[in-house]
Structure 1
Amino acid sequence: MELTINVAVLLAVVIVLRLRRRTEARSRKDEKLTVAIVLVFGILIAPTAFGRSILDVIGEITQGITGS
């Protein structure tokens, strides 16, 4: 049996676990690491169909805001 782990799913779990901690308990290094992890997650999910659908929704929202 072969077990494969999707890196984007693994990073999503890490992000959720890191963001559940209290804000007061975080140092600057910890916050920078969280930002770096989120950026890598965004880069990994962007070319997927889910990432494209998020981009389409955000594009529609921004067009609605700029049109009003």
Structure 2
Amino acid sequence: MMTINVGVLLAVIVVLRLRRRTHSRSRNDEKLTVVIVLALGIVIAPTPFGQGVLDFIGQLAAGITDSSR
């Protein structure tokens, strides 16, 4: 029996959609891509990988804020 990780599936879909040419996308196509990316974020967020990304982005933002003072 084969299982599919939803996060991996959404990541593959996002990569395939973003590889397309920009000028060939309609507004609805762009909105669908945004919804898929948001769903990917929601799926990844509670995982250890998602928490690591959140910590990294938090540290990066703190470093940028501290360097501008």
TM-score category by the smaller chain?
over 0.9
CA displacement at 1:65 relative to structure 2: 1.0
2:61 alignment partner in structure 1: 62
1:31 alignment partner in structure 2: 30
- What is the rounded CA distance, in whole Å, between the counterparts of 2:23 and 2:10 in structure 1? 23
- What is the rounded CA distance, in whole Å, between the counterparts of 1:59 and 1:42 in structure 2? 16
TM-score w.r.t. the length of structure 1 is 0.96
CA offsets, 1:18-68, max 9 Å, x none? 000000000000000000000000000000010010001000011111112
1:21 alignment partner in structure 2: 20
Instruction: Give percent identity, aligned residues only.
Output: 67
- What is the rounded CA distance, in whole Å, between the counterparts of 1:47 and 1:60 in structure 2? 18
- What is the rounded CA distance, in whole Å, between the counterparts of 1:28 and 1:48 in structure 2? 31
2:46 alignment partner in structure 1: 47
- Any stretches of 5+ residues in structure 2 without a counterpart? none
Secondary structure at 1:4 match in 2: coil
Q: What is the count of residue pairs matched by the alignment?
A: 67
Secondary structure at 2:15 match in 1: helix
- What is the rounded CA distance, in whole Å, between the counterparts of 1:60 and 1:37 in structure 2? 26
